[in-house]
Amino acid sequence: MIKVGIVGGTGYTGVELLRLLAAHPQAQLTAITSRKEDGMPVADMFPSLRGHVSLAFSSPDKAKLNECDVVFFATPHGVAMAQAPELLAAGVKVIDLAADFRIKDTAMFEKWYGMPHSCPDLLAEAVYGLPEVNREAIRKARLIGLPGCYPTSMQLGYAPLLAQGKPLVNESMLIADCKSGVSGAGRKAEVHTLLAEAADNFKAYGVKGHRHLPETTQGLQAIAGRKVGLTFVPHLVPMIRGIHSTLYANILPEARDVNFQALYEAHFEGEKFVDVMPPGSHPETRSVRASNKLRIAVHRPDGGDLLVILVVEDNLVKGAAGQGVQCMNIMFGIDETTGLTQVPVLP
């Protein structure tokens, strides 16, 4: 059994980790930390876990995290980099769901997250936890910086186009129009996520710059092996879970004869958590709710030179906790789908 610790188990990604790991046949929940809720049974805060999780929250100094095989950080930015060195020195693997180990350029990290990076040496070692791109590196890793929810949808949506030996689309003008449910903002009291603020409303935000932009650009350029230009516009929609990303790319004249549907199907062949849907499909966020599945549909309106890629995922599962468990499975050499085969919840 894999002994698992979770730092910060009271947020949405934390409880999602608990839900998935409680049913994982090879994972043993060992410690769940929360300074504020020290001593409170987890099931008292999250009744959905009654009968599944018997642990209580404990303060970090009581949790004995160094006795775990792997520790997940479902915490605000800055927490993992403060605690990761000690855990790694004790032989514990670390998977961070926040941004501490995503962006390789420390100056870029500090610009977007407003804090100094305390362990740039570990940042250089960290593996970006996108299995469909970095599976072999994840297999050998001891430290994972898990992708953000928006970046997961954008990178997997564009990956087949960029992974070719030569450009197929104008890679300097990629456009991502993305929408997320309110749970993407986290489990904290903020005015813009109140029911009376978010319901019956639809808005863009972060147009002049969003902290997921440098992470996504970094990932797309790693896939392509060349410079990529991306315009990313996120939107908040009045639903709890789900991301819908509509991605645009202009086809180059020399690539007009490419069968892009076949290209996507071939690229993701054998991937258990990426579903390339039939031509003409319009994937819905509810078709992936509470699952680790990401669905993609490829469109070429009127057979023209504009490619439109539709991508849906559950921001808390494939966009966070589920992808973390997927990485854990790879790191410990077990079947990648273990504990992640839940059928999406509908309606």
Band of pLDDT at residue 9, cut at 50, 70 and 90: confident
Given 68, 119, 149, 178, which residue is catalytic? 149
pTM of the model: 0.96
- Is the pLDDT at 246 greater than 90? The verdict is yes
> What is residue 22's predicted lDDT score, i.e. its pLDDT?
96
Calculate the average pLDDT of the chain: 96
User: Can you give the pLDDT at residue 186?
Assistant: 85
- Which domains are delineated in the chain? 2-125 (3.40.50.720), 150-315 (3.30.360.10)
Mean pLDDT of 46-71: 94
149 is catalytic: yes
The answer to whether 75 touches 98, Cβ cutoff 8 Å, is yes
User: Is the pLDDT reported for residue 187 higher than 90?
Assistant: no
- Please say if the pLDDT value at position 239 is more than 90: yes
C-alpha span between 3 and 152 (Å, rounded): 27
Cross-strand partners of 234 = 178
Please say whether the beta carbons of 5 and 63 come within 8 A: yes
**How much is the pLDDT for 60?**
87
- Predicted pLDDT at 315: 98
Percentage of the chain lying above the pLDDT 70 cut:
100
* Residue 238 neighbours by CB distance under 10 Å: 14
Can you tell me the distance from the alpha carbon of 119 to that of 143, in angstroms, rounded to the nearest whole number? Answer: 12
In whole angstroms, give the CA distance from residue 144 to residue 211.
19
Query: What count of Cα atoms within 13 Å lies in the side-chain half-sphere of residue 223?
Result: 29
The predicted structure's pLDDT at residue 136: 98
Q: What are phi and psi of 127, to 5 degrees?
A: -105, 135
Per-residue pLDDT, averaged over 135-161, amounts to 98
